[in-house]
């Protein structure tokens, strides 16, 4: 009898998980995926040991005081079983020190040359008062070498590229306050993070991430990239993408974008949060998964339902990943990180796969399509 890839994986890797990932050794959150073919997917997420170097328990509320890593899992059966492939990127010193303090969320996309391009958020770790200095970074890996080899310099760094970024319409606090622990001028912490990579039907490589247009107004940043064998460069930094209901929240995080050849629509999923300041009590903060639709990647974006952009059935889920999509049935399969607001047994773990409807009932969008 032929040995399946799943059986090989269970023999090769130390730990496998079924119907979600509740890891006994690591806290897991904020996630993204890539597809390797039918039923085969890689899953990435932020990860932190549940114990510090002295063996003392790290509480979820304390995690920003520690260095994270990006951890990789693989499935061969569409998300039922997951093999733990271990850490693939950790903070390290580089030419500009842009990811010396920490690494935050990102994305990955397969290239024609066999490599995988990774986007991630670099945290410089300037000092205790400026722990949230963020920049947009990239790196490469191969399927045989899972480790991500990051570029030596951030591709877009708010301090280095301050004037360029501000001129394009994005908000950044004064240079001396970039990444400050108390947030930006009455708003939450700096937002220049969570790069998501997607190719449009014409082959153009886009990257979108969490940003702001005012201290408390979330937008989506958008750049067109050029990629060579060992480098990534900015072709064009576009003006901010606006969200129609941004007055309801202060941060639009971990964006994901899908394009449907069936409906010829783009779908934008974000994790929204109305946190006003770091350290704010969790019971004062609302977190939601939201979905928008547009006929172009630039927008205008509209809520996928006429009454709201909030996706139902995802209570205590944040930073979800799209595992697969079925546009004929108008649904996606999600892997869902579980927030600290859930029950103690499942917090900062991964649930799923979960089938979620993306059926559009936005009358305004349909009217605009008919007029066009």
Label residue 39 left, alpha or beta by phi (over 0 means left) and psi (-120 to 50 means alpha): left
Distances in Å between the Cα of 336 and the Cα atoms of 80, 87, 161 are 13, 19, 34
DSSP track, 268-302: EEEEEE---STT--GGG--EEEEEEEESSTT---E
Q: Do the domain assignments include residue 205?
A: yes
pLDDT at 2 over 50: no
The verdict on residue 14 lying in a domain is: no
Domain carrying residue 357: 21-371
Q: What is the Rg, in whole angstroms, of the alpha carbon atoms belonging to the chain? A: 20
pLDDT of residue 363: 64
**Is the whole model's pTM more than 0.85, yes or no?**
yes
Residue 55 inside a domain? The answer is yes
- Confidence (pLDDT) at 13: 53
User: Among 111, 19, 37, which residue's Cα sits nearest to residue 76?
Assistant: 37
Furthest-apart CA pair in the chain: how many Å?
65
In this structure, the number of other CB atoms found within 10 A of the CB of residue 118 comes to 27
Element housing 81 (H / E): strand 81-89
pLDDT value of residue 4: 44
User: Which pLDDT value is given to residue 229?
Assistant: 87
Say how many residues make up the chain. Answer: 372
339 is a domain residue: yes
Averaged pLDDT of the chain: 93
pLDDT at position 24: 96
Residue predicted with more confidence, 320 or 14: 320
Per-residue pLDDT reduced to its tens digit, 158-188: 999 999 999 999 999 999 999 999 999 989 9
Which is more confident, 369 or 353? 353
* pLDDT band, very low/low/confident/very high, at 65 (cuts 50, 70, 90): very high
State the pLDDT confidence band at 367, using cuts at 50, 70 and 90: low
Does the pLDDT of residue 208 top 50, yes or no?
Answer: yes
pLDDT at residue 296 in the model: 96
* Residue 345 neighbours by CB distance under 10 Å: 8
User: Which pLDDT score is estimated for 372?
Assistant: 35
* 60-78 per-residue burial string, b: 16 or more CB within 10 A, e: under 16: eeebbeebbbbbbbbbbee
pLDDT for position 6? 41
Residues whose CB falls within 8 Å of the CB of residue 55, separated by 6 or more in sequence, listed in order: none
| H or E element, residue 42 | strand 40-49
**Residue 20 to residues 8, 121, 246: CA-CA distances in angstroms?**
20, 25, 31
Nearest Cα to Cα of residue 334 among 360, 307, 358:
358
Identify the band that residue 369 occupies on the pLDDT scale cut at 50, 70 and 90.
Answer: very low
Q: Where residue 321 sits, what CATH number does that domain have?
A: 2.115.10.20
Contact 154, 139 (CB under 8 A): no
- pLDDT tens track for 4-50: 444 444 444 558 999 999 999 999 999 999 999 889 999 999 999 99
167 lies in a domain? yes
Q: Establish if 13 belongs to a structural domain.
A: no
pLDDT of residue 168: 98
The pLDDT score that the predictor gives to residue 103 is 98
Q: Is the peptide bond before 72 cis (omega within 30 degrees of 0)?
A: no
Average pLDDT over residues 226-242: 96
Q: Decide if pLDDT at 370 tops 60.
A: no
The domain tally of the chain equals 1
Model pLDDT, residue 279? 77
CA distance 19 to 299: 35
Task: Give domain status of residue 9, yes or no.
Answer: no
pLDDT at 366 over 90: no
Mean pLDDT for the stretch of residues 133-156: 95
The count of C-alpha atoms lying within 13 angstroms of the C-alpha of 368, restricted to the half-sphere facing its C-beta, is: 14
State the pLDDT at residue 277. 84
pLDDT of residue 207: 98
Residue 3 in domain: no
């Amino acid at each position: 009898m032929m040995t399946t890839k799943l059986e090989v994986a269970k023999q090769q890797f130390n730990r496998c998980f079924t119907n979600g990932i509740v890891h006994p050794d690591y806290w897991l959150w904020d996630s993204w995926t890539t597809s390797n073919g039918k039923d085969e997917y890689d899953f990435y997420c932020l990860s932190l040991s549940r114990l510090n170097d002295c063996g003392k328990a790290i509480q979820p509320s304390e995690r920003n005081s520690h260095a994270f890593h990006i951890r990789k899992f693989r499935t061969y059966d569409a998300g039922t079983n997951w093999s733990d492939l271990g850490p693939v990127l950790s903070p390290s010193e580089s030419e500009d020190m842009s990811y010396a303090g920490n690494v935050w969320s990102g994305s990955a996309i397969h290239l024609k040359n066999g490599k995988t391009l990774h986007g991630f958020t670099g945290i410089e770790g300037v000092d205790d008062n400026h722990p949230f200095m963020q920049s947009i970074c990239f790196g490469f890996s191969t399927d045989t070498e899972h480790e991500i080899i990051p570029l030596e310099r951030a591709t877009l760094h708010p301090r280095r590229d301050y004037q360029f970024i501000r001129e394009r319409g994005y908000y950044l606090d004064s240079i001396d306050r970039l990444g400050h622990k108390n947030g930006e001028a009455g708003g939450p912490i700096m937002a220049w993070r969570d790069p998501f990579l997607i190719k449009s039907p014409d082959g153009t490589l886009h990257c979108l991430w969490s940003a702001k247009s005012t201290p408390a107004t979330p937008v989506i940043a958008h750049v067109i990239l050029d990629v060579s064998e060992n480098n990534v460069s900015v072709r064009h930094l576009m003006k901010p993408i606006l969200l129609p209901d941004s007055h309801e929240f202060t941060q639009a995080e971990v964006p994901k974008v899908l394009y449907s050849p069936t409906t010829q629509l783009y779908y934008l999923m974000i994790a929204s949060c109305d946190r006003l300041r770091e350290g704010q009590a969790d019971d004062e903060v609302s977190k939601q998964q939201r979905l928008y639709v547009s006929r172009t990647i630039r927008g205008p974006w509209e809520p996928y339902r006429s009454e709201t952009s909030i996706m139902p059935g995802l209570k205590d889920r944040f930073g979800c990943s799209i595992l697969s999509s079925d546009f004929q049935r108008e649904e996606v399969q999600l892997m869902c990180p579980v927030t600290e607001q859930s029950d103690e047994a499942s917090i900062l773990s991964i649930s799923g796969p979960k089938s979620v409807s993306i059926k559009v009932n936005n009358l305004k969008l349909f009217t605009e399509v008919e007029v066009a």
